[in-house]
Structure 1
Amino acid sequence: MTETTENPPPQEIFKVVLVGDEKTGKSQLLSRVTQDQFDETYRSTIGCEFGTKTYEINNRFIKLQLWDTAGQQRFASISRAYYRGANAIILCYDITNADSFNSLEQKLKEAQEIEENVKSIIVMGCKNDLEDQRQVTIQSGQEYANSNNAQFFEVSALNSNSVHAAFNEIMNSLIS
Structure 2
Amino acid sequence: MQDMGNGMMHFAPHVTRDRVISKFPKCYTPQACLQMKDDWDSQAKAACKHRTDRHQGWDRLKMSKAVVVGDLNVGKTCLIKRFCKDVFDRDYKATIGVDFEIERFELSGVPFSLQIWDTAGQEKFKCIASAYYRGAQVIITVFDMADIKTLENTRQWLEEAMRENEPGSFSVFLVGTKSDLLAPEEHQRTERDAVKMANEMKAEFWSVSAKTGENVEEFFFRMAALAFEDYVLKDMERGITPFSIGGRDSIKSDRANLEDPQPKLVKMNCC
Question: TM exceeds 0.5?
Answer: yes
Quote how far apart the aligned CAs of 1:171 are: 1.3
Change (3 A) 1:130 1:10: farther
Inter-partner Cα distance in structure 1 for 2:131 and 2:165: 10
- The answer to whether the Cα contact below 8 Å between 1:10 and 1:54 also exists between their aligned partners in 2 is no
Inter-partner Cα distance in structure 1 for 2:92 and 2:171: 29
Inter-partner Cα distance in structure 2 for 1:52 and 1:32: 14
Inter-partner Cα distance in structure 2 for 1:37 and 1:4: 19
Quote how far apart the aligned CAs of 1:18 are: 0.4
- Residue segments in structure 1 that go unaligned for 5+ positions in a row: none
> Which letter does structure 1 place at the counterpart of 2:177?
C
Inter-partner Cα distance in structure 1 for 2:88 and 2:104: 19
Look up the match of 1:126. Answer: 177
Q: Secondary structure at the match of 1:37?
A: coil
How many residue pairs are counted as aligned between the two chains? 175
1:145 to 178, 182, 198: 198
Look up the match of 1:112. Answer: 162
Quote how far apart the aligned CAs of 1:37 are: 1.2
Look up the match of 2:47. Answer: none
Q: TM-score w.r.t. structure 1 length? A: 0.91
**How does 1:4-83 map onto structure 2 within 5 Å?**
4-5=15-16, 9=59, 11-83=61-133
Q: Secondary structure at the match of 1:22?
A: coil
Percent identical: 34
Inter-partner Cα distance in structure 2 for 1:9 and 1:124: 33
- Output one character per residue of 1:50-90: Cα deviation in whole Å (capped at 9) or x when no partner: 11111111221111110000001111111111101111000
- Output one character per residue of 1:105-135: Cα deviation in whole Å (capped at 9) or x when no partner: 1111111111125421000001111113958
2:153 to 103, 106, 109: 103
Greater share of strand: 1
Q: TM-score w.r.t. structure 2 length? A: 0.60
Instruction: Point out the more displaced range, 40-49 or 135-144.
Output: 135-144
> Which letter does structure 1 place at the counterpart of 2:124?
R
- Residue segments in structure 2 that go unaligned for 5+ positions in a row: 2-10, 18-57, 230-271
- Output one character per residue of 1:7-60: Cα deviation in whole Å (capped at 9) or x when no partner: x75621010000000100000011112111111110110001111111111221
